[in-house]
Amino acid sequence: MAYKNIKITKGSAGFGGPLIIEPNEHKNKVLCVTGQQISPVAKKIAEMTGCELVDGFKTTVPDDEVAVAVVNCGGTARCGVYPKKRIMTVNVEPVGAVGPLAMYITPDIYVSDVKESNLSYTDETNASTAKTAEEELAAADGPKTKEQAKAEIAAAQEENKPGVITRIGIGVGHVVNKFFAAGRDSIDMIIRNVLPFMAFTSTLLGIISASGLGNVIAHTISPMCSTLPGLLVISIVCGIPFLSPILGPGAVIAQTVGVLLGQQFAQRAIPLQYALPALFAIDAQVGCDFIPVGLSLGEAEPETIEYGVPAVLYSRLITGPIAVIIAFIFSIGMYPGL
């Protein structure tokens, strides 16, 4: 039997890939391990490659005969079992390198959030000459009457139709996987981003308190942040075209200055009514480092990027002070009695 090579890419929220599936006479099985219901992705892979579709919950095959394994794991050990065996693995859930076997989940052997639209032939020739399994079966058996065809289709649909309990189980499992993935991503973001910044902030405040730098800040920065003209000067300095792209990356400068000002607001060294305009004053440069990247992602013409980048940078000199003035107006009466 002639097998066809296919390419599998990740979905919009996926990880890994693309994978090239190259079945042969020995490695010609699509192993589906997605519960009692065969995944449409697994069916499509088997149809396109010409491989045999095997339900992993009903039977098993030797590892060296598996061309690709299809799973629906939300982040437990199952999504790493087949990558550990160096078997091409397709996960229909949007899960990356997580779980107890995360070290085996690599982009060259694993792809996730896969849908039928992520499957394609490796070249146009295969796509144009390929026949579906149904067409090959029809050609082998000869012509059928209309009634026979309808009866066979109805029988196949009835056989594959999942029961009520199965449908409920699949739906609950899908929802649980979504919540599990969201929780895992949230914890991962906290560990990678929030906790390190909290540690940095604590260290910075400790150094400021122990070194007496807080008094210097209170006598230098506080007077500027305690008046509207001072905040306008800060916003203009942050928005200077040759400075804003340098101050912008990672928002590190804005975060650090924000921590310092926050301490001064907490100590009442700066009146609270200036908190909102101060926020806009120190953030006039935010996003300036991303302007050329954003224009490129928007497929802007080279001339648009050439003139658009300086135009946006210079516009910050105008929009920065305007934002401070608007924030100052809206902050009036925000903290009554303080």
Kindly report, residue by residue over 126-180, the tens digit of the pLDDT. 544 444 444 554 555 555 565 665 566 556 555 555 667 767 777 777 788 778 7
Count of CA atoms in the C-beta half-sphere (13 A) of 25? 1
10 Å CB burial of residue 92 (0-12, 13-18, 19+) is buried
280-290 pLDDT tens trace: 998 888 877 77
pLDDT confidence of residue 302: 76
Contacts of 7 (CB under 8 A, 6+ apart): 18, 19, 20, 21, 119, 120, 121, 122
Report, as ranges of residue numbers, the positions in the chain whose pLDDT lies below 70: 1, 35-36, 76, 123-163, 166, 214, 217-218, 246-252, 293, 296-297, 337-338
Prior bond of 196 cis (ω within 30°): no
Active-site annotation holds for 73: yes
pLDDT confidence of residue 277: 92
Neighbours of 112 (CB within 10 A): 24
96-112 pLDDT tens trace: 887 778 888 999 999 99
* Predicted TM-score (pTM) above 0.85: no
Segments of the chain assigned E as strands:
6-8, 19-21, 29-33, 52-55, 66-71, 89-91, 110-112, 119-121
> Please, what sign has the CA dihedral across residues 220, 225, 229, 234?
positive
Active-site pick, 73, 79, 225, 238: 73
pLDDT confidence of residue 7: 93
pLDDT confidence of residue 89: 93
